[in-house]
Amino acid sequence: MTEDYSLNYTDTDIDLMQSLKAPGKGYWFLLVFLLLLIAAGAAAWGVQIAEGIGVAGKNNPVGWAMYITTFVFWVGIAHSGTLISAILFLFRVKWRAAVYRSAEAVTIFGLATAGLFPFIHLGRVWVAHWILPVPNFGGLWPNFRSPLAWDVLAITTYLTASTLFFTLGMMPDVAIVRDKTRGWRKKVYGLLAMGWQGSDNQWRHYTAAYVFLAALSTPLVISVHSIVSWDFAMSIVPGWHSTIFAPYFVAGAIHSGLAMVVLLLIPMRKAFKLEKYITGHHLESLAKFIIFTALVVGFAYSIELFVSWYSGNPFERAIFIYRMTGDYAWAFWLLITTNVLVPMLLWSRKIRTSIPWLVGICISVEIGMWLERFVIIVTSLAHDYLPYAWGIYKPTLVDSLIVIGSFAWFFFLFMVFSKTLPVVSMWEVKEQINPPTKSGR
């Protein structure tokens, strides 16, 4: 970005505040459409609460199905944000400045969506507080040896750290909006800016806090999805009990998260005319990253198959044969195709610099990553040790509507964010361009 000498501090503010202008009809239409889908999902949840969890199609032996699949999917989506905002910051990657704000929003909204599913999955949502690390009336605490208890703590910590990092990064930008608006907007943004003035003293503490929050968030990129993977790997269910699950899940999470960031950046830069800031170079860099994560995910799939064969364990071998040839074989082969084979098209520069191709490939990755979790969860439960206990799971209208509603909820949150807060970090873009000087150098 420093090579673009046409950018300056004044134009940067004007350009990047375009997104805060009053929305058009298309925006409102889409927002209402998303609200209707959310209402449908909420109604389906209401039916489930009234009728019982059986209406979600879950029964022995498949007790974890679409809800946990979608929970893991959304936690995975959340991972790109911290990767881009924290890790790329620590490595001083310059192209991060223009895209990290949206990626962080993806993290927070991804977690806000994922966080709904444990409650939905519980069935008896009114006793959700039992999972909190406080003793119940009998003095009994949650079982801290259980990965489910770690998971609650990990997701809560991730959401807290991401929200604080997002809030901190936003403060100087909200102050810019405060200083450039009038009337009620000035008052609202003034409150959000918390009296930020950009004094050297404030910047000194700000930059220190920013580095430490980035450093503390970085291990979370690895640990949160590792802990989510241990929800499965700590059990003895065939197809789950594997030491490669943690890195395998982390790679998949970053794979889907990057694809989601690309899918949101492309329409956003078009709608808000941000092509000068979110350039083809940014999208191409993300596309290259997706090639890398696709290769890691593909490697994990092949190692998983190898381990099941090499272990000599008949149950492990059986579950992988079932995955490839059984009731859900269509999903298995589709996920291999969409997650690994289709992203290989990005090796072609012509394809990775083509917006329609990039959108298509990223949608393919999202479908593949959702299916990956579905296959891992459902096939292992449907077909474990004892043949007389085998069974299959079929989605119902209730759980399908809730899953669709969750997607609507995520995009709704992102759309509201894109019209109320700066979608590109103005102060960090300014760090990348030449400051105003009298000498012009």
Nearest-5° angle of CA 88, CA 91, CA 97?
Answer: 45
- Tell me which amino acid residue 321 is: I
Phi, psi (deg, nearest 5) at residue 62: -95, 90
What residues numbered 35-74 form the site for another protein, per CB under 8 A?
Answer: none
Phi, psi (deg, nearest 5) at residue 59: -160, 170
- Is 401 among the residues that bind another protein (CB under 8 A)? no
Report the C-alpha gap between 307 and 84 in whole angstroms: 32
Q: Rounded to the nearest whole angstrom, what is the least distance from the CB of residue 100 to another protein in the complex?
A: 15
Using CB under 8 A, which of 44, 99, 154, 413 touches another protein? 154
- Is 387 among the residues that bind another protein (CB under 8 A)? no
Q: Rounded to the nearest whole angstrom, what is the least distance from the CB of residue 145 to another protein in the complex?
A: 4
Report the C-alpha gap between 8 and 22 in whole angstroms: 25
Please identify, among the stretches 84-92, 148-156, 289-297, 350-358, the one whose residues bind another protein according to the rule CB under 8 A: 148-156
Strand partners, 59: 62
For another protein, how many residues bind (rule: CB under 8 A)?
Answer: 65
Report the C-alpha gap between 254 and 90 in whole angstroms: 17
CB-CB contact of 175 with 193 (8 Å) = yes
Using CB under 8 A, which of 149, 244, 324, 359 touches another protein? 149
Nearer to another protein, 178 or 383 (CB): 178
Report the C-alpha gap between 204 and 261 in whole angstroms: 31
- Print the binding letters for residues 404-433 with another protein: x by CB under 8 A, - otherwise: -----------------------xx-xx--
Using CB under 8 A, which of 212, 309, 330, 385 touches another protein? 212
Using CB under 8 A, which of 122, 223, 292, 419 touches another protein? 223
Q: Which of 163, 161, 157, 168 is nearest to 210 (CA)?
A: 168
- Print the binding letters for residues 4-23 with another protein: x by CB under 8 A, - otherwise: ----xxx--x----------
- Is 269 among the residues that bind another protein (CB under 8 A)? no
Using CB under 8 A, which of 312, 356, 387, 435 touches another protein? 435
Report the C-alpha gap between 320 and 239 in whole angstroms: 7
- Is 202 among the residues that bind another protein (CB under 8 A)? yes
- Is 302 among the residues that bind another protein (CB under 8 A)? no
CB-CB contact of 276 with 4 (8 Å) = yes
DSSP three-state, residue 58 = coil
Report the C-alpha gap between 394 and 378 in whole angstroms: 10
CB-CB contact of 263 with 366 (8 Å) = yes
- Is 228 among the residues that bind another protein (CB under 8 A)? no
Please identify, among the stretches 77-85, 100-108, 156-164, 263-271, the one whose residues bind another protein according to the rule CB under 8 A: 156-164
What residues numbered 158-197 form the site for another protein, per CB under 8 A?
Answer: 160-161, 164-165, 167-168, 171-172, 175-176, 178-180, 194-197
DSSP three-state, residue 59 = strand
Report the C-alpha gap between 78 and 103 in whole angstroms: 8
Nearer to another protein, 144 or 388 (CB): 144
Q: Which residue has the tokens 């375009």?
A: 18
- Is 131 among the residues that bind another protein (CB under 8 A)? no
Phi, psi (deg, nearest 5) at residue 407: -65, -45
**Residue 359: how many CB atoms within 10 A of its CB?**
15
Q: Rounded to the nearest whole angstrom, what is the least distance from the CB of residue 210 to another protein in the complex?
A: 8
Using CB under 8 A, which of 93, 209, 389, 416 touches another protein? 209
- Is 130 among the residues that bind another protein (CB under 8 A)? no
Up-side HSE of residue 264: CA atoms within 13 Å toward CB? Answer: 30
- Is 2 among the residues that bind another protein (CB under 8 A)? no
Instruction: Catalog residues that contact another protein under the rule CB under 8 A.
Output: 8-10, 13, 133, 135, 139-141, 143-146, 149-150, 153-154, 156-157, 160-161, 164-165, 167-168, 171-172, 175-176, 178-180, 194-209, 212-213, 216-217, 219-220, 223, 227, 427-428, 430-431, 435-439
